[in-house]
Amino acid sequence: MDVLEGLDPEQREVALAVRGPVCVLAGAGTGKTRAITHRIAHAVQDGGVDPQSVLAVTFTTRAAGELKQRLRGLGAPGVQARTFHAAALRQLTYFWPRVIGGDPPQVVESKLPLLIEAARLLRRNPDRAELRDVAAEIEWAKVTQVAPEDYPAAAVKARRTPPVPADQLVRLYEGYENLRRTRHLVDFETILELTAAVMTEHREVAAQIRGQYRYFVVDEYQDVNPLQKLLLDTWLGGRDDLCVVGDPNQTIYSFTGATPHYLSNFAVEHPGATVVRLVRDYRSTPEVVTLANRIMSKSVHRLDLVAQRPPGPQPVFSEYDDEPAEALGVALTVKKLMADGVPTREIAVLFRINAQSEAYEQAFTDAGVPYLLRGAERFFERPEVRQAVVLLRGAARSANDAEPLAPAVHAILAGIGLSHEPPAGGTARAKWESLNALAELAEDMAATGADLPRFVAELERRASEQHAPPLEGVTLASLHAAKGLEWDAVFLVGATDGMIPIVYAETPEQIEEERRLLYVGVTRAREHLHISWALARTPEARRVRRPSRFLDGLSPRTAPPVPRPERPAAPRRAMAAPIGCRVCGRTLALAAEQKLGRCATCPAHYDEALLEGLKSWRAGVAKETKVPTYVVFTDVTLQAIAERVPTTEEELLSIAGIGRVKLDRYGQAVLELCRKVGEDG
């Protein structure tokens, strides 16, 4: 087998660079997985590389499974392809009894149970949504190697807004770590940290691991965080047989600690490295590629894609009066695509935050369009799938070799809900889609001569690699969850300023990450691309929203680009007239005091019932929209509202921290609360 056959010139250059250091800058849809798998296969077949000495590192179990499958097909079945955590846990578990002693620690799948207990010990009673935000902040601290006592300073330096006051987060962080250590548990971050520490402190362990793995490939290198980089450097031990692959324009996880710095500075860290740019886009039509290039035209990491597919339809931009109208319009357009022959499994609706999915779930249910909510439970963890696998495994033990596979599987699945025709929608339809996917997989394998035991073995392999069979239904997913996937038709919805970019993206770095997020969404589409926005949240609300600034000049419905400062307006705010305390008149220097309009030490007069009502309302909104409470309004902003009791939109806008986006989103509710207080008073 000639593993170099069929590669384009740039992919071939990657495959021929069998020794590191090698950096592959791969744009969306340019065949990076093909390039690196053929590189590994070529190194094994013609470069004298032992497949057992190769460690290909990915970020998801599914990606690792895909790498293994492709490498098996290319004649390199012995290559290890694992996630950072899976590779580290395997090593840590193996060496623990020898160098530490006793049983290896158990892995904590979720931080929430320990955090709930830590909160109770501190006599706190936060809700689960708040604790999920705390867990995410602890994960950021751990991957960036920030100890509990150093968190407040590190959070300020990184411009992070903690979900609870920093001193409280420190205590929760310390309590969580104490409980984890006491109970001999490790979380995903500790797995990486301990593996690196064991190798550093025990030379014999390092020598054995480095003797085993000599040839490293790391996919999605733009998403590597400092802790993963520490482990990778420890694995390498000063060697440079390393190939990294990534796209700095798809860096969308910096809030978790990921940084493109390691990718963009690879040639600086490794002088003389081979750097190859993959720019031939095999996924999308020229029309989609052109839009993607224009969105990223000002990126410092500009990587212009060159479309390889035939022309297709132009991207469609749609403006709606309100969000229900937008959801209905999308559902009707999806039905038209379905009527034109586009399979539902090849259609996706992508949004910025998960709370946006509800309107589309309802619209698709009303329109009779099947849908799948990505980011919910994994396919092989669904109750109906687990039940089916148990029944199929039991049947396989006593299977009759003469019994055809497909009828046997259909008979078993019919007993737990698989019917000839799908139910109308909702939960029953989702269960039916899962069972039907298993039945279709059985039919496909039956065509190859497989029997029931072989089918069950295939299911177990797929479960271990999180390789779900294709499901029928339109995919509903957040932009973050869509990364790495692709569809024939993609709908990017809710494309307004305040949503993309999200309202709490303030720094230039945060704004640019939002632009990259839109770019990721656009490049998921192979042929049909629809971008839409609504001018108001509800039919009764004022239509004051505007399309995302990232679409300026790109859509016939958006205005030409308005010159924007290279930096946000912070410098101009610094030149604004000084704000005086409305109680004593002293100039206010602190941001919190400016927001309140008074010195922190000056007496405050406010209605306690209003403040409590505002906090209760904020908690309900945060829970409904699945965002931290501070994203709605900070405590200081609520305090300022309670003190000033605004009665008009202009008065509300005069409070620092409330802009047009938040006025449109929350203004009516806040003014109504203030009005009720005025009436009661």
- Please give the structure tokens belonging to residue 159: 């411009």
What does the alpha-carbon distance between residue 458 and residue 580 come to, in Å, rounded to a whole number? Answer: 71
Distance CA 304, CA 312 (A): 19
Q: Determine if residue 365 is left, alpha or beta; phi over 0 gives left, psi from -120 to 50 gives alpha, anything else beta.
A: alpha
Task: Report the alpha-carbon distance of residue 243 to residue 24 in Å, rounded.
Answer: 8
Question: DSSP characters for 642-657?
Answer: HHH---SHHHHHTSTT
Whether 629 has a binding-site annotation, put simply, is no
| Region of 489 on the Ramachandran plot (φ > 0 left; ψ -120 to 50 alpha; else beta) | beta
473 has binding-site annotation: no
Q: Is 427 annotated as a binding residue?
A: no
How far apart CA 448 and CA 396 sit, in angstroms, is 18
Please state the separation of Cα 183 from the chain's center in Å.
Answer: 30
585 is in an annotated binding site: no
* Residue 26 marked in a binding site: yes
Residues β-bridged to residue 531: 317, 492
417 assigned binding-site residue: no
Say if residue 258 carries a ligand binding annotation.
no
Residues of 123-143 as b/e, b for ≥16 C-beta within 10 angstroms? ebebeebbbbbbbebbbbbbb
Residue 228: which of 88, 351, 367 has the closest Cα? 88
Rounded to whole angstroms, the Cα distance separating 375 from 249 reads 23
Identify how many contiguous H helices and E strands the chain contains and give both numbers. 29, 16
- Secondary structure (H, E, C), 264-293: HCHHHHCCCCEEEEECEECCCCHHHHHHHH
Residue 78 carries which DSSP code?
A: T
Does residue 28 have a known ligand-binding role? Answer: yes
CB 516 within 8 A of CB 501: no
Can you say which residues are annotated as belonging to the binding site for ATP? Answer: 26-33
Can you say which residues are annotated as belonging to the binding site? Answer: 26-33
